[in-house]
Amino acid sequence: MKTHLTRSGLLLIGVVGTLALAGQLAAAPPNVILLMGDDHGWEETGYNGHPHVQTPTLDAMAASGLRLDRFYAAHPSCSPTRGSVLTGRHPNRYGTFSPGCSLRPEEVTIAQILRQAGYATGHFGKWHVGPVKAASPTNPGAMGFDEWLSHDNFFEMNPQLSRNGGPPQPFEGEGSDLIVDATVGFIGQAVSKGKPFFAVVWFGSPHEPYNGLPKDLALYDNLPLEYAQRQVRLTSNETGQQVQRPLRDVLRERYAEITAMDRAIGKLRTHLEARGRRQNTLLWYCGDNGIPAEGLATSRFRAMKGSVYEGGIRVPGLIEWPARIPEPRATTVSTVTSDMLPTLCALTGTAPPDRPLDGISLVPLLDGNMTARPSPICFWSFAGAARSGQRREPYIDPELQKGTTPLVKLMGGIPTRNFVNYRYHEILEGDFGGPRVILDRQHKLVIDGERASGIELFDLSYDPGETRNLLASRPEVAQQLQARLRAWQASVLHSLRGEDYR
């Protein structure tokens, strides 16, 4: 017997099927991929209006997902920001003050939390919060990752990487493409085991020294001739030492790296789409700090990498998750890398660590229900890290802090990177110093942002370039923010002494 369906009947079946699929996705835990560019500043995307850089994949993500227009790195340099992603805490709480400072083994990471919840966890690319070797107490495995193909620091074309803590192995190819291929393999293994996956993909690009594939370099052959008039310092790919080169040549290579990284992200998105996994996979892209001096051509922001002004800490931020964010949106709510852990805990129904966190859950923002951040964001480049004349006690055996994976850029004459972390048994008044910021909705209070610059107050709602100090006209706002900043610093220094681990 034949069954005849009317058009309305077919429509009803389609609606029911769509609702059933939505219900299945809502019930399934989301897959999560955190992507991070190395030294990739806010300006350097097509969707943010850069005059030269081509980033079609990031532009597509911005056009389909949630665009975080005021997204911040927790610190103006790489290792501290990466620590904030993993822990949800400001890096000064555990002594990751600057590049080359490790985590502490007692820190609880989002990878440990999600692995306990049944996720397959993998890290791919730059680590830089401790050595990746097997003996390190802060390698990716010790910090919660089942699998890792990682580098102690950044890496270039044809890198040497460590797989699961083993000796470095050479890999031939473009660095961003290589680690995306490794990520795709990890995803396949996780799916075959019936597990949701959590992947952290930290690119080595576009950190100097720069190089690019011919097809990517060719895109930037016609950069403005005026850039050739300025010389910049950076690492030579031939010697590993510092050299001076014309900015135009350097930008051509830097932008080629950004485009190659963008293409690798596109490859990952295409893989997820082809396997039917894109709908319920949360992709979160950001940079780790602002644009470095040798890569800065133009910016609407003040300063650059290493500074607590906007040019040093505002970075690209994008979240794409079709099942939860079906329509494109943009937000000017201030958000920060420390928000990642509490957000992912809320989304997966897992408990965050029982210790002070500096990030907040952005679930209301994902759902369109947050119009202003409920608590301020604080930034701080710790001045007490180099207490002169005082003996410092290593937190971890220095032998365990020695890196193994080589890179082109030499430091102290060696092609690898070693790490440090120190104990702080007492807190001195001088430890409260250093460039520091509290950002509360539109107001940003900056103390000692530059040498002897004192206290500055900006209203970012109309002055994102931080050109007008409002301290004299809004003294009450400055006083309130300064008191809150000092109280937050006291909490951070309490953590630095190890009190959170007791």
DSSP 85-106: HHHSS-GGGGT--STTB---TT
Mean pLDDT of the chain: 94
Instruction: Please answer whether residues 262 and 56 qualify as being in contact, where contact means their C-beta atoms are separated by less than 8 angstroms.
Output: yes
- Residues with Cβ within 8 Å of 234's Cβ and at least 6 positions away in sequence, in order, are 208, 209, 210, 242, 243, 245, 250, 294
At residue 390, the pLDDT reads: 74
- Nearest-5° Cα angle at 318, 164 to 456: 105
pLDDT at residue 245 in the model: 98
The mean per-residue pLDDT over the stretch 25-30 comes to 72
Query: Which has the closest alpha carbon to 199: 211, 213, 212, 181?
Result: 181
Q: Residue 346: which of 366, 371, 331 has the closest Cα?
A: 366
HSE at residue 490, side-chain half, CA atoms within 13 A, is 6
Q: What's CA 335's distance to the chain center, in Å?
A: 12
* Mean pLDDT for the stretch of residues 400-406: 98
pLDDT at 8: 42
Report the SS3 class of residue 187. helix
Note the pLDDT of residue 384. 83
- What does the domain layout of the chain look like in residue ranges? 26-373, 384-395+423-501
The torsion defined by the Cα of 230, 235, 241 and 244, in degrees rounded to 10, comes to: -10
pLDDT digits (tens, 9 = 90+) for 71-105: 999 999 999 999 999 999 999 999 999 999 999 99
State the pLDDT confidence band at 241, using cuts at 50, 70 and 90.
very high
pLDDT confidence of residue 283: 98
**pLDDT of amino acid 5:** 39
The share of the chain scoring above pLDDT 70, in percent, equals 94
CA distance 111 to 477: 39
On the question of pLDDT at 3 being above 70, the answer is no
Residue 379 phi, psi (nearest 5): -130, 150
Amino acid found at 472: A
- Mean pLDDT (whole number) for 414-420: 96
Q: How far is CA 413 from the centre of its chain?
A: 28
The answer on pLDDT for 30 being more than 50 is yes
- At residue 386 the predicted structure's pLDDT band, cuts being 50, 70 and 90, is confident
Angle at 386 between CA 382 and CA 392, to 5 degrees: 115
Is a pLDDT exceeding 80 seen at residue 41? yes
pLDDT beyond 80 at 160: yes
Measured distance CA(328)–CA(46) in Å, rounded:
17
User: pLDDT digit string (tens) for 268-314?
Assistant: 999 999 999 999 999 999 999 999 999 999 899 999 999 999 999 99
> With contact defined as beta carbons under 8 Å apart, do 130 and 398 qualify?
no
Task: Give the list of residues 6+ apart from residue 413 with CB closer than 8 angstroms, or none.
Answer: none
CA atoms in the 13 A half-sphere facing the CB of 403: 28
H or E element that contains 34: strand 31-37
Residue 17 has pLDDT above 70, yes or no: no
Which pLDDT score is estimated for 391?
A: 80
Q: Residue 330: is its pLDDT beyond 90?
A: yes
Contact 76, 314 (CB under 8 A): no
> Side chain identity at 124, as an amino acid letter?
F
On the question of a cis peptide bond just before residue 406, with omega within 30 degrees of 0, the verdict is no
Exposure string for 313-349, b = 16+ CB within 10 A, e = fewer: bbbbbbbbbbbbbeeeeebebbbbbbbbbbbbbbbbe
What's the mean pLDDT in 362-387?
A: 94
pLDDT at 183: 98
Q: pLDDT at residue 13 above 80?
A: no
So what's the pLDDT on residue 11? Answer: 38
Cβ pair 262, 219 in contact under 8 A:
no
Q: Tell the residue number behind the tokens 């133009």, with chain if given.
A: 298
Residue 120 is predicted with a pLDDT of 98
pLDDT over threshold 60, residue 213: yes
Q: CATH 3.40.830.10: does it fit domain 26-373? A: no
Q: Is the pLDDT of residue 6 over 80?
A: no
Cis peptide before 170 (omega within 30 of 0): no
Domain 384-395+423-501 indexed as CATH 3.90.180.10: no
Mean pLDDT within 454-465: 98
Q: CA 360 from chain center: how many Å? A: 16
pLDDT value at 2 more than 80? no
